[in-house]
Structure 1
Amino acid sequence: MTEQPIDLMTALAGFDELWSPRIAARVNDYDVRVAKVAGEHVWHAHARTDEFFLVLDGVFHIALRETGDAPEREVVLRRGEIFVVPAGTEHRPSAPDGAAILMFEPSGTSTVGERHDPVPTHVDVTTGHPLFPAKDTV
């Protein structure tokens, strides 16, 4: 982490990997993660935590499989909009034309939750990468 302000758009310009979130900050036991996304993620669920999304750029879709008799539905978020996926809800994020997002979730939360479909190779299964890699010391 850093003790200086972080320009999120500059931070996003510092990496190219899709579906591979970077930890921009920590707030108590939560990560503030930023990611570039394009195409589809994987159907998955986080059993014990909600998942917060804020769209920084582009258009971001979240397909939801809710409990009970509710049919599958999709939420579409544009720049500046937020949405919270409740704990235990199966969801599949996607961004047909690409997007940049910010997520707020407990540190150590896997990008594919505890339940998920087979993970395609373009999805990084991680608990987040440092935004600023450690500098080599000699």
Structure 2
Amino acid sequence: MTMQDKVNLAEKLASFSDHWKPRIVGGYNGNDIMVVRIEGPFDWHKHDETDDLFLVIEGKLDIELRDRIVTLTAGELFVVPAGVEHRPVARYGEVKILLIEPSGTPNTGDPATAVEKLRI
């Protein structure tokens, strides 16, 4: 996917309501740019081959690592290095985030348990 026009993240996020199902809104250099609505905890997982970038658009998100918790609010981002086990948790209500990762990266780190990423 190449960017042919601007993307309004608020409009894209308003177009769906389900949680933990990333939507691809653009791409560059073999990476997917995605938005996702989340609430509650996700599974503990890791990505052996790639870092995992989280940018909070709205809400408050905890990224649990085995040795600490990183709390993010709107406008803050955190990159989990490749191979580091982590678990995002939206324990304070719904959170809207932007993710960037190489196309085809399974969101759980395992293709067998990953959800399908839809393009919108």
Check if 1:75 corresponds to 2:51.
no
2:84 to 89, 101, 104: 89
| RMSD over aligned Cα atoms | 1.5
Match of 1:135 in 2: none
Match of 1:103 in 2: 99
Cα deviations across residues 66-121 of structure 1 (Å, max 9, x unaligned)?
xxxxxx21000000001000000000001111100000100000110039xxx7xx
Say if 1:20 and 1:126, in contact at 8 Å, map to a contact too.
yes
Aligned residues: 117
Q: What is the identity percentage for the equivalent residue pairs of Structure 1 and Structure 2?
A: 42
Match of 1:15 in 2: 16
List, as ranges, runs of 4+ consecutive aligned residues in structure 1 with deviation greater than 2 Å: none
SS in 2 for 1:11: helix
State the TM-score, normalized to the length of structure 1. 0.80
Structure showing greater radius of gyration is 1
Q: Give unpaired runs (5+ residues) of structure 1.
A: 66-71, 120-124, 132-138
Superposed counterparts of 1:53-68, under 5 Å: 53-65=54-66
State the TM-score, normalized to the length of structure 2. 0.92
d(CA) in 2 for partners of 1:22, 1:14 = 10
